[in-house]
Amino acid sequence: MAQYVDVKPELLRWAVDRSGLPETAYREAVGAWLAGKSKPTLKQLQTFAKRAMVPFGYLFLESPPSESLPLPDYRTRTDGGVRAPTPNLIETIFEMQRRQDWMREYLIEEGHDAISFVGSAKIGDDVETLATRMRDELGLSDGWARNLSSYQDALRLFRDHIEDAGILIFVNGVVGNSTKRKLDPDEFQGFVLVDRIAPLIFVNGADFRVAQMVTIAHELVHVWIGRSALFDLEATQPSDDDVEQFCNQVAAEFLVPATWLEGAWTSSSGDDGAIVGLARRFKVSPIVIARRARDCGLLSSEQFFAFYRRYMSRERERHERQEPGGNFWNTQNTRIGRRFGRTVVAAAQAGRLPYSDAYDLTRLYGDTFDKYARLLTRKGEL
């Protein structure tokens, strides 16, 4: 005989709303449960909890829990205000916290000191001076990207220097390795978890690739000023908060110094083709060039937003034509992060970390983890 479970309709409603899925997305008779016309069986409720991405025990609380994010929320990209975070975002933040906690403890055991540049700047510092200092501390020379062959090469080199400086960086467009749980770039583009030993930045890999370098540069400034944050950058513009405005100014100067752009700008540089040409030269997105030109008074706001709409329309069309998928193992380099992945694998192989914990930290299990470890060894990263 089926075992029926008493569960408060308001908790079911909370779980449905929190998931972001409509009632019709559930195979069970959720509408009848919400109306109090029937009760779920234990198995049905377990299936519902899994589908709603909610911890099963939450459904037996007296009232819906109040969930808060463990970092300041500067998101702006919604109609009528910032919506409550989805389970995908919440789980991603907490997973990154677990990775950061483990890495911090490991580095402390290894005798690592605090990173000197974390929290070394403050709001109101000279923008040009701070951007130059950041490039210097990351080991990036003036014009570091201009001699590279592509934007992708520049982005890869950028990530490598960030990791070499001691900052954990993760780029992922899904929760863990679950392709069914895609992260929504309209919900967030990235977040920063500041720590003196193991600072961490996360980039929503589902966002347009051309936007990712801006996101990373913006996150780096947060590390330098010692401020954790969750944010989006609609049309490369942050919220009105002083922290976000300052981070955006420094990030723009970091990627495209005003003196460089002004020196390269000509009377025809406002044309779409010329902007794209300058972007290839500086190895940044054309959106960054256009926004920087607006900041420097070389383009009006109307010209910038008109270009932004045209360019993003073309990017969406190109994105829709792309074939889904990709090489799973190449994806792990960004999802797990080169520095974090090799540290976890080395600790597991040395017997300092149980393999079960290594599996949980990387979201790779059994033979998949073993193959990942072999690939790292083959690439000379262990």
Residue 80 has pLDDT above 50, yes or no: no
Residue 58 has pLDDT above 70, yes or no: yes
- pLDDT, residue 72, reads 83
Q: Which tokens in the block code for residue 222?
A: 């947060």
Distances (CA, A) of 112 to 101, 197, 382: 14, 8, 19
- Confidence band of 311 (pLDDT split at 50, 70, 90): confident
pLDDT digit string (tens) for 38-48? 888 888 888 88
This prediction has a pTM of 0.84
Rg (CA), the chain: 23
325, with CB counted inside 10 A (0-12, 13-18, 19+), is exposed
Q: Which tokens in the block code for residue 281?
A: 């030269």
- pLDDT, residue 149, reads 82
Domains of the chain, by residue range, sit at 9-60, 67-255, 256-319, 332-378
- pLDDT, residue 240, reads 73
Residue 79 has pLDDT above 50, yes or no: no
Q: Which tokens in the block code for residue 201?
A: 């930045």
Quick one: what percent of the chain has pLDDT higher than 70? Answer: 93
How much is the average pLDDT of 293-302? 90
Residue 4 has pLDDT above 50, yes or no: yes
- pLDDT, residue 81, reads 45
Residue whose tokens read 């940044």: 284
pLDDT digit string (tens) for 201-248? 999 988 877 778 889 999 999 999 999 999 877 666 667 789 989 999
Longest dimension (CA), the chain: 80
The more confidently predicted of residues 82 and 53 is: 53
